[in-house]
Amino acid sequence: MGLDAYHEQEAVRDIFNRANDVLGYHLTEIMFDGSEDDLRATENAQPALFLHAYALYQTIENPRPAMAAGHSLGEYTALAVAKALRFDDALELVRLRAEAMAAAGAAEPGTMGAIIGLDDDVVREICQTISQNDHLVVPANFNSDGQVVVSGTPWGVASAIEAAKEAGARMATELNVSGAFHSPLMRPAEEKLAQALSEAPIEEAEFPVYMNVSASSVTDAGTLREGLLKQLTAPVLWAETIRKMIADGATEFIEVGPGNVLQKLAKRISREVPASGLGKIEQIQTFNNSEGAEKNE
């Protein structure tokens, strides 16, 4: 993970090595040579994803974003590139967040499930009905129209999956996760993160960041701080976020970091606005060259 960029870009090497110093251990060893299980562990995956996306962004020449958003953990990357959080502080917060979420998942076992093909309100109603019977399940991610992830106790999520199938869902399945993220079961993690966030030096963002918990455009430091804390137990309003960004003038989405999940979601939410990704160093080099060519025309 990130090895190609590390070898080819001095800026990436500097950032990766800085991350090792900040964390006090060699995260890069896990990223480059660790097992898939090691890398997928919450306490490693979150810092690695943040680091990879942030470092790749630094190799883009004159990115000039008008606005930014990040899905769950990605919100920290968005705030770091918007200069609301310094790199060291963001990485420390991500590490603490990951450890707190892993601990909460171990103390109160939970899981998540993906439901595709039902209206959001139907999924909300299913969750409300099941939760009334003391088996918690709540909507956690509104990813696109007809795609909702639910989160809660194992019994609650299993019941929601069965109810979704009975209601005509095209797909309903449990996800391979280590906890009930974005649900009240993450309250202990929220409590652990609260003090660190209250003390973290957060500045006004240089450009608007659309927050997970409200789908609203934010630059104010206090509101950014509040949103980061609330997102641990609140749903990610991703579909609404993308629609709001389009309404506010977004004409193109570029996902920076590994994978292509967010660009696929953006295309499902709106066919009118193009979405692409920069996940490997060769893609960024091509992008930089094309941007330079446009300037010289």
Active site residues: 72, 182
DSSP conformation letters of 96-112: HHHHHHHHHHHHS--EE
Q: Supply the DSSP symbol for 62.
A: S
Cα atoms in the Cβ-side hemisphere of radius 13 Å centred on 27 = 31
Which stretches of the chain are assigned E, i.e. beta strand?
A: 68-69, 111-116, 137-144, 147-152, 171-174, 209-210, 217-218, 253-256, 275-278
The SS3 assignment for 187 reads helix
Q: Is 24 left (phi over 0), alpha (psi -120 to 50) or beta?
A: left
Q: Which two tokens stand for residue 121?
A: 């309100």
From CA 56, how far away is CA 63, in angstroms rounded?
11
Question: CB-based contacts of 103: which residues, under 8 Å, 6+ apart?
Answer: 188, 189, 192
The SS3 assignment for 60 reads coil
From CA 253, how far away is CA 77, in angstroms rounded?
16
Contact 37, 178 (CB under 8 A): no
- Nearest by Cα to 84 from 272, 222, 186, 192: 222
